[in-house]
Amino acid sequence: MPATRTWLKNPLAIFTANGLDARGGLVLQDGLIVEVLAAGQQPSVPCGQVFDAREHVILPGLINTHHHFYQTLTRAWAPVVNQPLFPWLKTLYPVWARLTPEKLALASKVALAELLLSGCTTAADHHYLFPEGLENAIDVQVESVRELGMRAMLTRGSMSLGEKDGGLPPQQTVQEGEVILADSQRLIAEYHERGDGAQIQIALAPCSPFSVTPEIMSASAELANKLDVRLHTHLAETLDEEDFCLQRFGLRTVDYLDSVGWLGPRTWLAHGIHFNPDEIARLGAAGTGICHCPSSNMRLASGICPTLDLTAAGALLGLGVDGSASNDASNMMLETRQALYIQRLRYGAEKITPELVLGWATKGSASLLGRTDIGELAVGKQADLALFKLDELRFSGSHDPVSALLLCGADRADRVMVGGKWRVIDGQVEGLDLKGLIADHSQAARQLIAGT
């Protein structure tokens, strides 16, 4: 018996991320988009299910390319509310060192649920904390992703340069290189899925120049090349980081990246703010990706990513919400809106359009993760979709539906589909006890701060 075909019929508006006319809607089968219908077109064969989308704006599922799920436990914590990056980290590291598997599971579920409700279907998380008792942190996250029914690029982060050797992290959060590499190989062998439709993927992600040694950077690059997985790290986020690299390595950030074998198309970088024109040209020539994190960059007063300069040079560009202790929300629609506004300050209103930044949040973000099966609406792509209604007070009087999502501040999807399955219906995550999760997570957050 052939699988049921579903027609998402005649949406109020639709953004495909590729210029295709899909005003007649989409036909879905076996978790894939099988037809893209122009205005007035009908499906080629009758569909067993028809969903009337006349009240919905349809987007490709949004893709978040940089996060720290565990940080949902330390949102809006008073001691760091007004601190820039380095003091912020130094204050938070001892708190984060108390993380347990149970608390990480709750934090990950909260981050994923919040992302899902914002229309996000795929998330990359950068987890680099493995204190005693939390050696299997990525395994914990895998279970949370599967429970929520999303896709994820879980990056095996690491910190190997502690305070006693001139780094920022406290020693109890630092691991030896051989431990990091052995666990990286185990995780790739156990969880990394390849090809279209992958749900769980693994990347290697030494944390930052000020928390890892050049040796683990080089070894991670070699392992990623050998096992064909991607590389991720923080780079050029603040001027303090630039000064650290100059003092410790005698190199600027991109020179350092090149020296450890990371300057290439396998790599995507979080933040990417403080580059000079030569460095931008080199990143572009290498096909390296940059994840723009506007809310975090504003919260920590780090600077503004030179997005259009980077893409003009050939670099790939996507968006990320960053950790929930520096955003402090896990909401991809709000992040896309923030990108629109902060980039207009840098490049002007005419060049930074809603369609451009929605492209960064979808197809652009997919490119950072090395994926061509998600991030746009076209035949053969995964049926990962976010559907928004414009029936709230904030949208009253709006005229262009796609622009209204950003300009009027949409923050919650009405429906979200991952691989052809509805995961959010009527603004609620299917099968999730949200009140119970909030209660458990809030208690865990209080315990983490108190050290109990």
Domains of the chain in start order, with CATH, are 5-60+381-429 (2.30.40.10), 62-369 (3.20.20.140)
Render pLDDT for 252-283 as a digit per residue (tens, 0 to 9).
999 999 999 999 999 999 999 999 999 999 99
- Angle in degrees, CA 353, 355, 360, rounded to 5: 100
* Bond before 400 cis per omega within 30 degrees: no
What's the pLDDT at 2? 59
What's the pLDDT at 3? 76
- Angle in degrees, CA 289, 290, 294, rounded to 5: 160
What's the pLDDT at 1? 46
3-state secondary structure the chain: CCCCCEEEECCCEECCCCCCCCCCEEEEECCEEEEEECCCCCCCCCCCEEEECCCEEEEECEEECCCCHHHHHHCCCHHHCCCCHHHHHHHHHHHHCCCCHHHHHHHHHHHHHHHHHCCEEEEEEEECCCCCCCCCHHHHHHHHHHHHCCEEEEEEEECCCCHHHCCCCCHHHCCCHHHHHHHHHHHHHHHCCCCCCCCEEEEEEECCCCCCCHHHHHHHHHHHHHHCCCEEEEECCCHHHHHHHHHHHCCCHHHHHHHCCCCCCCEEEEECCCCCHHHHHHHHHHCCEEEECHHHHHHCCCCCCCHHHHHHHCCEEEECCCCCCCCCCCCHHHHHHHHHHHHHHHHCCCCCCHHHHHHHHHHHHHHHCCCCCCCCCCCCCECCEEEEECCCHHHCCCCCHHHHHHHCCCCCCCEEEECCEEEEECCEECCCCHHHHHHHHHHHHHHHHHCC
Q: Per-residue pLDDT for the chain (452 aa), expressed as one digit of tens each? A: 457 999 999 999 999 999 999 999 999 999 999 999 999 999 999 999 999 999 999 999 999 999 999 999 999 999 999 999 999 999 999 999 999 999 999 999 999 999 999 999 999 999 999 999 999 999 999 999 999 999 999 999 999 988 888 888 888 888 999 999 999 999 999 999 999 999 999 999 999 998 999 999 999 999 999 999 999 999 999 999 999 999 999 999 999 999 999 999 999 999 999 999 999 999 999 999 999 999 999 999 999 999 999 999 999 999 999 999 999 999 999 999 999 999 999 999 999 999 999 999 999 999 999 999 999 999 999 999 999 999 999 999 999 999 999 999 999 999 999 999 999 999 999 999 999 999 999 999 999 999 98
**CA distance readout (Å), 354 to 22, 181, 293, 318:** 18, 41, 17, 14
d(CA 66, CA 411): 19
Predicted TM-score (pTM) of this structure = 0.98
Q: Provide CB contacts within 8 A for 38, sequence distance 6+.
A: 21, 22, 23, 24
